[in-house]
Amino acid sequence: MRKIRKICKGLMAVIAAAALTAGCMTAGAKETDESAAEKETIYEAEEADFSGNVHIESQLSGYSGDGYAAGFQDDGDACSFAVSVSDDGFYDLHFISAAQGGYKENYVNVDGENLGTVSVSDGSFTDSMLSRVYLSAGEHEISISKFWGWICLDKLIVQEAEPLDESIYQASAKLCNPNASESARRLMSYLADNYGKNIISGQYSSSGRYGKEFTVIKRETEKEPAILGLDFIEYSPSRVANGSNPKSTEYAIDFWENGGIVTFCWHWNPPEKYLTKEWYRGFYADSTDIDLAAIMNGEDEEGYQLLMEDVDAIAKQLQVLQEADVPVLWRPLHEASGGWFWWGASGAEAYKKLYILLYDKLTNEYGLNNLIWVWNGQDADWYPGDEYVDIIGEDLYPGEHVYTPQTNKYLQAVHYTDADKMVVMSENGCIFDPELAVRDGAMWGFFCTWEGEFVAKNTAIFAYSEQYTETSMLQKAYDSDVVITLDELPDLHSYPIRE
């Protein structure tokens, strides 16, 4: 079982107690009487600085101090704490808050950098933690600002983090499909052997290796990503009916034969019967009236058959890849818990039934043994079970020029299951700083930057876009000793299989 190692006993506790000093206190901060190894500092929200509509209230019971911060409703609304720590190190940030009207998620910034989000769904004051935030000794500004908004924020508790248990990097190389192909087992063995030591580079490009994304990256860094990300979207029957001419399968075969790794997602455009807006955006929940819950519980039998016909179309492409001996990092039904795609709009239970059905159909009916199953539901309640998942993926878009490795999300994903599953950044906007990833222990198995404006400008001449990642950070990442590029991959056709 994966867990963070506790160090509150014996000699380690004595050492920690000796090392941790009282530090300087700021307004609104109170230290508890816990032992030094468990010491925490409390910052009351009503004594913090407010921006926008944020103000003090006291109507909701259960708060500490003289009130709490409310009014998180518009962009720019924020509550900022002046925090002081006496030692360099990692700290857990506990935000005690209550949700107004169900699940809410909001940004956390430290000294102006977005480190991720914290969420709360309880209407009473509960703890939402951002774990293992690195703080240097001295003063820091820690703020919570509006993403979804609508919370009551009682206080911030800053506590020294426990050491990271490096056993989280001991990912299993065993695939959930017992009949997995040799090429899939070789690839998974390499990924598992590499995990925790290096981070593999990846890039989505609908035009393949010679598309604009790979072209501008090679021009700026003199290197190419090790993973090519592709999408089966254009193979969806409702898009083929409207004239799509997909070539992703051919691009995948070419990249694998030239030494690279291939990953596929599927923006599943639903059957034409269910399209309510423009056909080309049917995968969005707001552009279809498909009811997945009704389909999965047997109320819409026609819908079930239509979905299976769509799956048949994609299975044929996966068969082509299997015949070419191409192993695929297969990431279907992605970002489900967000609800913006139709496969997530009916809730976790309907989604899990569809995911398991898809696994069973592709694995047992079609005999597709070249698939490494990357689950990307992004919430523990949406996890379908260890027997259907090889790798856990998180998609992260923290903003522009945000180079932090999103450590809290990494650690959350690590603990979606007690099994030894690798965690990867299956999609990203900004490329994170690999030095920070190593420092924080956020050793994503790979990253795979999304295409278009995240890398390349939408112009006739291929040009790099710095909108999300500046050229200097792109070069730093691709030059890093811990980032694996295409030229640094081993021969995956002969890589030893780890049982």
Residue 427 appears among annotated catalytic residues:
yes
Distance CA 222, CA 203 (A): 15
* pLDDT at residue number 461: 85
Within 8 A by CB and 6+ apart from 75, the residues are 52, 146
Domains 10-160 and 166-488 in one fold: no
3-state SS, 89-112, equals EEEEEEEEEEECCCCEEEEEEECC
Angle between helices 248-257 and 301-323 (to 10 degrees): 30
Distance CA 485, CA 480 (A): 10
* pLDDT at residue number 499: 74
Q: CA nearest 79: which of 99, 108, 40, 57? A: 108
Q: Which two tokens stand for residue 359?
A: 């696994």
| 314 bridge partner residues | none
CA dihedral (343, 348, 353, 358) in degrees, to 10, reads 40
Q: CA nearest 300: which of 341, 337, 354? A: 354
Average the pLDDT over each of 23-27, 101-105, 337-341 and give the range with the smallest value.
Answer: 23-27
- pLDDT tens digits, residue range 425-459? 999 999 999 999 999 999 999 999 999 999 999 88
Q: Which two tokens stand for residue 322?
A: 């299997």
Q: Which two tokens stand for residue 324?
A: 């070419």
| Residue 22 clears pLDDT 80, i.e. is over it | no
Boundaries of every domain in the chain: 10-160, 166-488
Distance CA 27, CA 82 (A): 8
Distance CA 388, CA 134 (A): 35
Candidates 160, 213, 234, 427; catalytic one? 427
Half-sphere exposure of 49 (CA within 13 A, CB side): 10
Distance CA 45, CA 42 (A): 10
* pLDDT at residue number 389: 98
> Which superfamily is assigned to 166-488 in CATH?
Glycosidases (3.20.20.80)
Distances (CA, A) of 145 to 44, 52, 196, 403: 16, 10, 32, 19
DSSP string, 251-285: HHHHHHHTT-EEEEE---PPPGGGB-S-GGGTTBG
What does residue 301 show for φ and ψ, rounded to 5 degrees?
Answer: -70, -35
- pLDDT tens digits, residue range 136-150? 999 999 999 999 999
* pLDDT at residue number 441: 96
* pLDDT at residue number 29: 56
* pLDDT at residue number 38: 57
Average the pLDDT over each of 22-36, 37-51, 386-400, 407-421 and give the range with the smallest value.
Answer: 22-36
Dmax (CA) for the chain in angstroms is: 70
Q: CA nearest 87: which of 158, 155, 165, 141? A: 158
What's 169's DSSP letter?
A: G
Distance CA 237, CA 216 (A): 32
Distances (CA, A) of 230 to 97, 98, 335: 40, 40, 16
What proportion of the chain, given as a percentage, has pLDDT over 90? 90
For the domain bounded by 10-160, which CATH number is listed?
A: 2.60.120.260
Residue 301 appears among annotated catalytic residues:
no
Whether the Cβ atoms of residue 463 and residue 457 lie closer than 8 Å to each other: yes
Q: Scan for tokens 């198995």, then name that residue.
A: 445
Distance CA 378, CA 394 (A): 6
- pLDDT tens digits, residue range 390-438? 999 999 999 999 999 999 999 999 999 999 999 999 999 999 999 999 9
* pLDDT at residue number 107: 95
pTM of the model: 0.88
Within 8 A by CB and 6+ apart from 10, the residues are none
The predicted model gives 343-360 an average pLDDT of: 98
Candidates 47, 335, 394, 451; catalytic one? 335
Strands 261-265 and 227-231, bridge-based pairing: parallel
Whether the Cβ atoms of residue 71 and residue 53 lie closer than 8 Å to each other: yes
| Residue 21 clears pLDDT 50, i.e. is over it | no
Strands 89-99 and 199-200, bridge-based pairing: unpaired
Whether the Cβ atoms of residue 413 and residue 391 lie closer than 8 Å to each other: no
